[in-house]
Amino acid sequence: MGGARSGKSSFAEEIAEKLSKEEVIYLATAQALDQEMEERITHHKKQRPQAWETIEEPLALSEVIENVKDNKTVLMDCLTLFISNMILKQAELDKNENNLTQKFNIEQEIINEIETTIKKARKNDLNLIIVSNQVGQGVVPNNELGRLFRDIAGRANQFVADTADRVFMTIAGYPIDLNDISMKNKTNFLDNLEED
């Protein structure tokens, strides 16, 4: 995880290459909806080894993972684009309705898809590397859709981090191993506070 241009994708690619050399599947969630995004996608493609297989899938992550076998490494870049894709798809379906229930349901649908993806990766014994943006440390978005995205992304990042074997935060190109600096047992820490 990390902010924009923090080095998270580059670090994830280094991990993938170290784990599997050329046997890497790059699961790209970006959609080239405008020229700027086309340029970003082109730039990302040039950065990674040509031998890697690229699968472009903006929504059905678990379906892709289900079909990957043989202990391969899958680098998914990125979780927050997947979340954005899901929210925008739902917003398009609901644009003529003011349906708050659907807005809350979309979060559960997103978490369910992430959970299913992770379960299938574990079942197939894959190395799954997930890249995600840390979006909750900036300015509060000035519109409802932006705030919905920020909130869902934050909770999705927590969910992924809770299920991951290792979690890294990148800042200015430097990866920080959050497993090494996090509280090993939050409950014990909180219990000790009461005793003091």
Q: What tokens were used for 195?
A: 């005793």
Identified catalytic residue from 31, 44, 54, 154: 44
Rg (CA), the chain: 18
Distances (CA, A) of 38 to 108, 159, 188: 30, 30, 49
Please give the Cα distance from 155 to 161 (Å, whole number).
Answer: 10
What is the β-pairing status of strands 174-177 and 168-171?
Answer: antiparallel
Angle value at C-alpha 57, between 53 and 63, nearest 5 degrees: 90
Provide the residue type at 160 as one letter.
Answer: V
Is position 44 annotated as part of the catalytic site?
Answer: yes
CB within 8 A of 32, min separation 6: which ones?
Answer: 38, 41
Alpha carbon distance 160, 165 (integer Å): 10
Q: What's at 148, amino acid-wise?
A: L
Q: Name the residues annotated as catalytic.
A: 44
